[in-house]
Amino acid sequence: MVVTVSLIPIPYRIIALTQERNSLLDYSAERLEGVIKEIGFRCDGCAQCCTRAFNGHVFLLDRDVTAVKKIDPAALEPAPRPEFCDQNGIFYDSGYALRTKGDKHGSCWFLENKRCRIYDQRFTICRIYPYMLHREPDEKGKVDWRQISGLNEHGEYNTDIPEEDCRAIARETKEYEEAFLQQEIAFLEFMNEYFKKNKLRHVQKVYDDKMRRFVKGEPITVQVFYCGRLEKHTVVPE
């Protein structure tokens, strides 16, 4: 049986994420450096990674949301698939994602002619991609550390990456993954208190019903977690 993650009690999810973060901290940066060196990935400018068709949505850390708000606030949208929906039909989302343009590949808002038009200011996840460091199942269900996203599906391989670059990428990747987990934990801790204080609870049936109507064109209200508070949005289907 597949358990919808929103149905797992929040305190258990906080414990699981805290364990994941501790496990990440134990993962040796030298091991990641070795993987980076061995794979020798180099971007070939195909720009696939900046599209939703290839990569799903680009989730942003709070510090990156702050940067987007200064560069172009229209580039922000609540991340797809909010985590919770209360009995009154209000959704709660752990953060923002980069908006896409609505073309057939779902190109990032900032992508122009296969180039990032804010390259020097690009966001944390954009800087470390395709490196990653989290545990997830492969196609056979075996859970292990994943270090490269879209391996062999884009870019060049077996290129020579200087040692100091490998070290810097490994350090930044670990920092990003830790910040991401910390943000998720902070969101769950906040929601646990917020639901208790306001006598709210997640109701999966309301979530599913509202989502069905959303797909047919009905707007939804989404509260997005950002810097320790909630920001309210009305989201209309694209």
| Footprint of ligand SF4 on 43-72 (CB under 6 A) | 50, 58
Largest separation between any pair of C-alpha atoms in the chain: 57
Q: What is the nearest approach in angstroms of ligand SF4 to the Cβ of residue 187?
A: 22
Residue 63 CA to chain centroid, in angstroms?
13
| Rounded CA separation 92/169 (Å) | 33
Smaller CB separation from ligand SF4, 78 or 106? 106
Nearer to ligand SF4, 76 or 108 (CB): 108
3-state SS assignment for residue 207: helix
Cβ-based nearer residue to ligand SF4, 123 or 226: 123
Return d(Cα 87, Cα 204) in angstroms, integer: 9
The half-sphere exposure of 31 on its side-chain side, counting CA atoms within 13 A, is 11
- Name the residue nearer to ligand SF4 (CB basis): 26 or 119: 119
29 contacts ligand SF4 (rule: CB under 6 A): no
Segment near ligand SF4 (CB under 6 A), from 119-127, 155-163, 172-180, 193-201? 119-127
- For position 116 contacting ligand SF4 by CB under 6 A, the verdict is yes
Residue 59 C-beta: closest distance to ligand SF4, Å: 11
Which of the residues 120 through 139 are near ligand SF4 (CB under 6 A)? 122-123, 126
Tell me the closest approach of the beta carbon of residue 50 to ligand SF4, in angstroms. Answer: 3
Q: Which of 92, 110, 131, 187 binds ligand SF4 (CB under 6 A)?
A: 110
As a whole number of angstroms, the distance between CA 159 and CA 39 comes to: 8
Within positions 142 to 161, which residues make up the interface with ligand SF4, using CB under 6 A?
none
* Neighbouring C-alpha atoms within 13 Å toward the C-beta of 101: 12
Please state the closest distance from residue 38 (CB atom) to ligand SF4, in A. Answer: 25
Stretch of 30-38, 105-113, 178-186, 189-197 lying at the interface with ligand SF4 (CB under 6 A): 105-113
Best CA proximity match to 233, nearest among 90, 84, 72 = 90
Least separation, in Å, of the C-beta of 34 and ligand SF4?
Answer: 26
CB 97 within 8 A of CB 79: yes
Strand partners, 238: none
Q: How far is the CB of 126 from ligand SF4 (least distance, A)?
A: 3
Residues 14/189, Cβ–Cβ less than 8 Å: yes
Spatial neighbors of 137 by CB under 8 A, at least 6 apart, are: 143
Query: Which positions touch ligand SF4 (CB under 6 A)?
Result: 50, 58, 98, 108, 110-111, 116, 118, 122-123, 126
